């Protein structure tokens, strides 16, 4: 084997992704899907999401660079740092979105995916994704953003609950401000009627 291919193989790690909430039991002979993270733009997501287990070949240095979780796991003195196979138990659809962000793919934050992305970004320590989620939430919870109905009230309440449960002052403060403004506007409209 050539020296350059040894270095390239040492730079890659296989992430074995399993969904901890999957209802289907895992069998030893079950088919696994092996993907390469560098081809993430061409992935067939509907097909991928039919698998209980997903194996993704990723660049160790990219993961370490973009994620404090992987930096701690792969770049330190943990026994996993020398392994070529790392198990990740997370919602596969959300983890794919996090990987897409790590590999600089376009990613839209919406009211449907905000909480899973935000929670995943915190768990895996992907600072740039945390900032993207916070920026989106700041925008949609602003008076102009909320009035343009980008964020339904039910979603705002779920986000507020999440913020309270996870002691996120950032989320709680924005939700309180947004809900207070909405309450005041509703009260003003009621008094005029």
What structural domains and CATH numbers belong to the chain?
1-107 (3.30.710), 109-193 (no CATH)
The pTM assigned to this predicted structure is 0.80
pLDDT band at 84 (very low <50, low <70, confident <90, very high): confident
pLDDT exceeds cutoff 90 at 65: yes
Radius of gyration of the chain (CA): 20
Quickly list H helices, 39-168. 45-48, 60-66, 68-74, 92-102, 114-124, 127-140, 143-147, 153-165
pLDDT digits (tens, 9 = 90+) for 117-170: 999 999 999 999 999 999 999 988 887 765 555 677 788 888 889 999 988 888
CA–CA dist 174, 168 (Å, integer): 10
């Amino acid at each position: 084997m050539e020296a350059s291919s040894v270095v390239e193989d040492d730079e890659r790690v296989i992430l074995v992704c399993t969904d901890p909430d999957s209802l289907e039991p895992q069998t030893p002979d079950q088919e696994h899907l092996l993907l390469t993270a560098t081809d993430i733009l061409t992935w067939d997501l509907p097909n991928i999401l039919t698998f209980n287990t997903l194996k993704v070949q990723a660049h160790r240095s990219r993961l370490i660079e973009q994620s404090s979780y992987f930096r701690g796991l792969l770049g330190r003195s943990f026994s996993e740092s020398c392994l070529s196979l790392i198990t990740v138990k997370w919602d596969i659809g959300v983890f794919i979105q996090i990987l897409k962000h790590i590999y600089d793919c376009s990613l839209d934050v919406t009211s449907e995916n905000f909480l899973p992305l935000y929670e995943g970004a915190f768990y895996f320590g992907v600072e740039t994704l945390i900032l993207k989620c916070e920026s989106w939430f700041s925008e949609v919870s602003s008076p102009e953003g909320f009035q343009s109905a980008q964020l339904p009230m039910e979603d705002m309440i779920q986000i507020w609950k999440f913020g309270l449960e996870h002691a996120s002052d950032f989320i709680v403060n924005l939700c309180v401000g947004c809900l207070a403004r909405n309450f005041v506007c509703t009260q003003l409209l009621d008094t005029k009627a």
